[in-house]
Each structure stands twice: as structure tokens, then as C-alpha cells.
Amino acid sequence: MKKNPIKIGIMNGRLSSQVNNEIQSFPITWKDEFHKAKNNGFNSIEWVFDLNPNPILQTDGLEEMKSLSKKYDIEISSVCADYFMQKMLFNVSDNDLEKNLIILKKIIQQCS
């Protein structure tokens, strides 16, 4: 049986209740989304990184993400860094830019 090379994914948060009535935000019930994605025929999740607490920044959180990804055969295909819509990388003070670049570098480090 030939595997389809195209992944059918869903944006993180689309399988959970909205947070603060926002259409796109990191869900509180993020762990449940792996099981829900699998049951609904998806094979990948685009991870949302916004201002809400997110396991991607912590080593143990990242390990849990990887474990659930493997358990349900759901790839985390990319990260949507909505965080930088509010914590911008331009037109900000040098101090804010430095803080925001630290977060960006941490995300890149965690994803590589």
C-alpha cells in the first residue's frame, strides 16, 4: 500500500474549546488534541505558540509533546508563532527586541 506523501493537518486549538473567545489560541486541553486529531483522520498538527503558557518552551513539556506525537502518530509539522504578532521583532525598543529574540531562539532550539 502506497503512503500518501501529503500530510493532512489541523491547526492546534481547532479541536478544543476557544480560549477567551479567540478563534486561534493555544488550547488549555492541548494534550487531548492528539487523540482527537487521530480519531478525525488528521496526521499532523500545526502548533500554536502565543502569549498563553506553552509546553514547547520547557524540556519536560517538549518531551510530553513528542511522546503524544509518537503515541498517536500525529506529526507536529510546524509552529505558528502568533506570539510575535504582539511581541514584535521590529519597531520596538532594543530591550524588547532582545527579550523577543530570546523567545524566538528558544523556539528554534526546541524545534531542532
Q: Is 97 within a domain?
A: yes
- Our CA dihedral for 92, 46, 73, 32, rounded to 10 degrees, sits at 90
Q: Which domain holds residue 21?
A: 9-111
Q: Is 92 within a domain?
A: yes
Q: Is 24 within a domain?
A: yes
Q: Is 72 within a domain?
A: yes
Q: Is 105 within a domain?
A: yes
**Percent of the chain having pLDDT more than 70?**
96
**Percent of the chain having pLDDT more than 90?**
83
DSSP state, residue 14:
T
| Number of structural domains in the chain | 1
Q: Phi and psi for 76 in degrees, rounded to 5?
A: -90, 100
Distance CA 19, CA 30 (A): 12
Confidence of residue 2 (pLDDT cuts 50, 70, 90): low
pLDDT, position 72: 98
Residue 13: count other Cβ atoms within 10 Å of its Cβ.
26
* Rg of the chain on CA atoms, in Å: 15
**Unique residue bearing C-alpha cell 510546524:** 78
pLDDT, position 93: 96
CATH number of the domain where residue 23 is located: 3.20.20.150
Mean pLDDT of the chain: 93
- What pLDDT, in 10s, does the model give residues 36-78? 999 999 999 999 999 999 999 999 999 999 999 999 999 999 9
Residue 4 predicted with pLDDT over 70: no
Q: Is 2 within a domain?
A: no
Q: Is 3 within a domain?
A: no
CA atoms within 13 A on the CB side of 45: 29
* The model's pTM: 0.87
Q: Phi and psi for 47 in degrees, rounded to 5?
A: -75, 135
Q: Is 84 within a domain?
A: yes
